[in-house]
Amino acid sequence: LAKTTQPISMDSYEGQEVNITCSHNNIATNDYITWYQQFPSQGPRFIIQGYKTKVTNEVASLFIPADRKSSTLSLPRVSLSDTAVYYCLVGAAIFNKFYFGSGTKLNVKP
Amino acid sequence: DADVTQTPRNRITKTGKRIMLECSQTKGHDRMYWYRQDPGLGLRLIYYSFDVKDINKGEISDGYSVSRQAQAKFSLSLESAIPNQTALYFCATSDLRAGGNLIEQFFGPGTRLTVL
């Protein structure tokens, strides 16, 4: 399993764009990059997944450079309710098991 | 009603006791997982099952066992609980038939287990 490295924590203010970068130097050809969000005392929730370049949905954007050794989750105009832990995972659907790591704790301030 | 349910939600037990945590899902998914989460840490995979006849160990299976009684049910047992198994336990499911490489897992609400 490819392991990931993320910042332990980040602070932001309401209305700002937040970018969380994840390193995954040992990513394999079949691996996809997936991000989850977890609120206190709740299970993680899927946010977005991508393989290369850029993916956007109603919640976030995911930027993946050509070498795929890192990725950046972008949250536009965060609000207080975006305060959570964000996990970057790397894995392949065929194996369907993942390394969650410790995640990045995002604290959004008013 | 929740798609992935876990019982009990909270449990306090004593060292040496046998305990079972249960997970049920109504999503019709083939794959089910058990994770544990310790304070301030990420989730670690204990066991996973791709179908009723398929059980696989995860990162930290020692001290745990599982049973996949049906497609919808996956239980986790601690044969002889010890204090360092105190943690938050999550069950999750995913759909083999989701198509492509989507690897979205759906998590239950968690079971908070305390071993005294």
pLDDT, tens digit, 9 for 90 and up, residues B7-17: 999 999 999 99
Is the omega angle on the peptide bond into residue B8 within 30 degrees of 0, that is, cis?
A: yes
Decide which of B74 and A95 is more confident. B74
A-chain CB neighbours of B105 within 8 Å are 36, 44, 46, 98
* 3-state secondary structure at position A82: helix
pLDDT, tens digit, 9 for 90 and up, residues B97-107: 655 566 688 99
- Other residues' Cβ atoms within 10 Å of the Cβ of residue A59: 15
- Using a 10 angstrom Cβ sphere, with 0-12 exposed, 13-18 middle and 19 or more buried, the burial of residue A104 is buried
A-chain CB neighbours of B42 within 8 Å are 87, 100-103
Give the chain B residue nearest A94 (alpha carbons): B101
Q: Residues A79, A80, A82, A86: what is their CA dihedral angle, to the nearest 10 degrees?
A: 130
pLDDT, tens digit, 9 for 90 and up, residues A1-59: 568 899 999 999 999 999 999 999 988 888 889 999 999 888 999 999 999 999 999 99
- Does any CB of chain B come closer than 8 Å to the CB of residue A97? yes
Cα–Cα distance measured from residue A37 to residue A39, given in angstroms and rounded to the nearest whole number = 7
Q: Residues B94, B96, B97, B103: what is their CA dihedral angle, to the nearest 10 degrees?
A: 60
Cα–Cα distance measured from residue B39 to residue B105, given in angstroms and rounded to the nearest whole number = 21
* 3-state secondary structure at position A105: strand
Cα–Cα distance measured from residue B89 to residue A64, given in angstroms and rounded to the nearest whole number = 32
